[in-house]
Chains A and B, each alone.
Chain A
Amino acid sequence: MYQVGNLVKELSAKHGHQRESLMPILQGIVQKHSYLTDEAMVEVAKELDMSAAEVYGTASFYTFLDTQVRGKYVIRVCKTITCSMKGKSDIVHTIEDMLRIKPGETTPDEMFTLLETNCIGWCHKAPAILINEMPYTELTPEKISEIIKDYMQK
């Protein structure tokens, strides 16, 4: 659990205090901390002068605005048809073995979260994943284990 500190004030100074500023502010928090805490959402509500329920209502609609604890690195494995045909399961199994978590879970040190997601637009280079913002494509079990190892050393 992180402390949101001055981040909400900084983000609202950049994006404004209107209703339309809400998404960029929430996205800014997630970019830095991977997920939204209750404290962060209450803080945003105060800053934008709206109800916390409205903030939660908006956040909970969007897959990438997580309101549950997420690791520093969120791994999203595409599960839509082409990736699924081209070996998505092998990629998931390799990550499961390396990090000892199942899809939907976060490592106890809160470094990694493993999720399955819908089409991320790399069907011609399947199977593909996102780690935070970065796409990795044409994966094999060997390639993904190298990538995860790199992240473990970061």
Chain B
Amino acid sequence: MENKGLNKVDLIFEKINPKEVLQKAFNMTSTEIIQDMLDSGLKGRGGAGFPTGLKWKYTAAEKSQDKYIICNADEGEPGTFKDREILDRVSTKVHGGMAIAGKAIGAKMGIVYLRGEYRYMLPKIMIELKDFHKMIHEIGYDFNIEYRMGSGAYICGEESALFESIEGKRGEPRNKPPYPTVSGVFGKPTSINNVETLVTAMMIINHGAKNFIQYGTKDSRGSKVFSVSGDTPTPGIFELELGMTVQQFVNEFGDGDTKAVQVGGASGFCVPRKKFVETIIGFEGVPTGGSMKLFNSSRSMYNVLHNYLDFFAEESCGQCTPCRVGCQQLLKGIEKVKKGEVKSTYLTELTKLADTMKIAAKCGLGQSVGNAFKSIVGNFREEIIY
């Protein structure tokens, strides 16, 4: 397995002349832009990791007068705060990425769905957006961006729930297919990308796909912005090359007593100390939307799991039974085990329930509850029982 070590990179926040990069992009054909994305190996930075080039290719192939680019800024995963920082510091690059995506798929309309918790940023962004519109109209390109606000629902980060919310409805995920590339917001072909993905796309146009693939590994190209929190002397935002091991990450950010790292937030995986050396952070190991939480030996992993399950029980939209009932039962289940009301073997039953949720839940929320549950129960069974 490739191992690149821990390298700091400055791509996302790097100073560029946005006008020059956009001019370059608008002089390319749609096919050329998409080919650049495919060559770069860029995968979505929101967590799911779908290849961006393919998403754009599928949306470009749809025949429709109206298409949409949506920027998913409903950053709700516990432990993630990179999108807020990116929008705060380089919103023009986010808007630029949307315009480039628009050129690639043939969309004239862009919508940023920003989580309600970040509304305080809106006045500043609106000023920057006005300048952005002025700039692209000067270049002679027709593309408009609007902002829509969320109202405190984690589930609206799921793409089809986000569309429902923009349409003024309850944020309940839709059945798939049809996929967003065919029928997204307002039933139109839609490419929905994470904030960081759009900025990365703009930087790929700037530096070229060939330069981009110098960074990262075969399965995880490029660099990524990590949100580091928990038991660390240096919490914050760090852009790092993909392909390091958890051990290398802990050497840099740990407090000397790290017993576990939760990679990818509440819907991600818990990596215990004994697996630090062998686990790669990236799509070949543990994928992450950027959330990295460190826990030292003073923390009870029961409390961590309880906190996550409580989160999911509240944030489940309630539409499908496996998730609505499953989240509640997992939460009640570990409470019963802790109090000794049931035998510890009950954890095996709960694990089966988590497996069922993975298969039967309608969307990514219910399907990924089992990730944290199984990796914490699997690695810290004694802490859950005693």
B230 interface residue per 8 A CB criterion: yes
Contact A80 B152 (CB under 8 A): no
Which of B167, B293, B304 interacts with A20 by CB under 8 Å? B167
A130 interface residue per 8 A CB criterion: yes
Contact B314 A124 (CB under 8 A): no
Cα A27 to Cα B237 in complex, Å, equals 30
Cα A63 to Cα B228 in complex, Å, equals 27
User: With A19-B168, A20-B167, A121-B118 as given contacts, are A81 and B304 in contact (CB-CB < 8 Å)?
Assistant: yes
Contact B293 A82 (CB under 8 A): yes
Residues 120-141 of chain A, each 1 if its beta carbon lies under 8 Å from chain B, else 0: 1111111000100111000000
User: With A61-B170, A123-B235 as given contacts, are A82 and B149 in contact (CB-CB < 8 Å)?
Assistant: no
Cα A26 to Cα B169 in complex, Å, equals 12
Cβ distance A27 to chain B, nearest Cβ, rounded Å: 6
User: With A61-B153, A80-B307, A82-B293 as given contacts, are A121 and B80 in contact (CB-CB < 8 Å)?
Assistant: yes
Which of A21, A62, A80, A134 interacts with B151 by CB under 8 Å? A62
Q: Which of A30, A63, A79 has its CB near the most chain B CB atoms (within 10 A)?
A: A63
Find chain A residues with CB under 8 A from B117 CB: 120-121, 130, 135
Find chain A residues with CB under 8 A from B171 CB: 61-62
Which of B77, B152, B227, B304 interacts with A124 by CB under 8 Å? B227
Cβ distance A65 to chain B, nearest Cβ, rounded Å: 5
Smallest Cβ-Cβ distance to B314: which chain A residue: A118
Contact A124 B119 (CB under 8 A): no
Contact A63 B166 (CB under 8 A): no
Cα A121 to Cα B74 in complex, Å, equals 10
Smallest Cβ-Cβ distance to B115: which chain A residue: A121
User: With A82-B229, A82-B293, A124-B236 as given contacts, are A23 and B119 in contact (CB-CB < 8 Å)?
Assistant: no
User: With A58-B169, A62-B152, A80-B307 as given contacts, are A124 and B237 in contact (CB-CB < 8 Å)?
Assistant: yes
Cβ distance A113 to chain B, nearest Cβ, rounded Å: 14
A24 interface residue per 8 A CB criterion: yes
Cα A84 to Cα B295 in complex, Å, equals 13
Cα A23 to Cα B170 in complex, Å, equals 10
Find chain B residues with CB under 8 A from A57 CB: 170
Which of B120, B148, B167 interacts with A134 by CB under 8 Å? B120
Q: List, sorted by A's number, 26 A–B pairs whose CB atoms are closer than 8 Å.
A: A20-B166, A20-B167, A23-B148, A23-B149, A58-B169, A61-B172, A62-B152, A62-B171, A63-B151, A64-B150, A64-B152, A79-B307, A81-B230, A84-B307, A85-B230, A118-B78, A119-B80, A119-B154, A119-B311, A121-B75, A121-B118, A123-B80, A123-B229, A124-B237, A126-B229, A135-B120
Binding site for A on B (CB under 8 A): 75-81, 84, 115-120, 148-154, 165-172, 186, 227-231, 235-237, 266, 293, 299, 303-304, 307-308, 311, 314-315, 317
